[in-house]
Chain A
Amino acid sequence: MAATPALDSLAVGDEVASVRHLVTRDSLVRYAGASGDFNPIHYRDDIAEFVGLPGVLAHGMLTMGIASQVVVDWVGDPARVVDYQVRFTRPVVVDRNDGATLDVVAKVAVIEADAGRARIDIVASVDGKTVLGKAQAWVSLI
């Protein structure tokens, strides 16, 4: 387990971590079961097509969940992530064979030394296009 980063060791703009994840149809089925979101647009090509989507999509909440892991791993304890928000700006199409490759980069955006916390901004992208907007995680480093 990673040691908790010291707040005074951070500078705005620091990249704290980056990682690449492969999201497959298996991932979507697993998330459907874990979350209880069984909307078939997340696993059936025919229904995705019927409702006019470009393909089977990852659950937005799955993308949100995966994108936070880089911050959790960096900060060492998931309980230190005290506030996390995203906008869902672009659907993640998950190809039945190749899946989707999600790149996640996290950088220090704001440091509040008195409050003992920092805001980490996350860029999540597929094929170079961002899929989340305003993805921000406040971490407590007291």
Chain B
Amino acid sequence: MSRAVPAGRSSGEGRASSVRRMKRVPVNPAIQGRSYPPVDAYLVGREKVREFARAVFATNPIHFEVEAARAAGHADVVAPTTFPVVVQEATLAQLLGDADAGIDFGRVVHGDQRFEYSRPVVAGDELTAHLTVTSVKSLGGNSMVTASTVIDDAAGEHVVTATSTLVVRGED
């Protein structure tokens, strides 16, 4: 279980204490269907693919060796299945940073995650991502916010959709 945390937020005790002080407002159900503008394009770097692959204990040479990737028919090294979370991150930050959404990110727990591919992500891809809130539900005092981030390549073709359900805990 991990907290979804927008990149660039301050870390440490400051955040934890501000969470405690934060006024708890319910998630705004009207965000269902809301879309956010595409975030800046993400250029997939070969070394980033290798770094991420090592971090998730990957060993398949198609993640690391250009020759192995090309022999398998890919343009360059292939990113691990969960790599698009790096691209999705900036779109989740938009949602969590939207005051009108009312998502207190200190109370957010990552509920589930999915990646649905049209084609693999390879080094050299320039990816754009935009998020749509597909569902807001209340369940047992918690809110469940499902957000799909559609990730396309520079030609506008679909690459992968990353979908997260965030569980926003209600009152303790």
Residues of A within 8 A of B (CB): 1, 21, 27, 30-31, 33-42, 44, 47, 50-51, 57-62, 64-66, 68-69, 72-73, 76-79, 81-88, 90-92, 134, 137
Contacts and interface: CB of A to CB of B under 8 A. Distances in A.
Contacts of A38: 5, 11
B16 A47 contact: yes
Given A34-B52, A60-B110, A66-B56, A39 B3 contact: yes
B145 to A, nearest CB: 15
A72 B13 contact: no
B73 to A, nearest CB: 8
A36 B114 contact: no
Given A33-B55, A83-B117, A91-B1, A78 B63 contact: yes
A39 to B, nearest CB: 4
Interface string B92-113: 0000000000000000011111
Contacts of A90: 1
B81 A72 contact: yes
A84 B115 contact: yes
B51 A33 contact: yes
B66 interface: no
Given A62-B55, A69-B57, A77 B112 contact: no
Given A35-B52, A37-B5, A47-B12, A1 B82 contact: no
Given A33-B55, A39-B5, A69-B59, 20 more contacts: A1-B60, A21-B57, A34-B52, A36-B7, A38-B5, A65-B55, A65-B82, A68-B56, A68-B82, A69-B60, A78-B78, A78-B81, A81-B81, A81-B117, A82-B117, A83-B116, A86-B114, A88-B2, A88-B112, A90-B1
Contacts of B116: 82-83
Most chain A CB within 10 A, of B19, B56, B78, is at B56
Given A34-B51, A36-B86, A57-B1, A65 B81 contact: yes
Contacts of B16: 47, 50-51
A77 B82 contact: no
Given A59-B2, A61-B2, A37 B58 contact: no
Interface string B55-74: 11111111100001000101
Contacts of B117: 81-83
A84 B56 contact: no
Interface in B27-41: none
Contact of A65 (B11, B60, B80, B109): B80
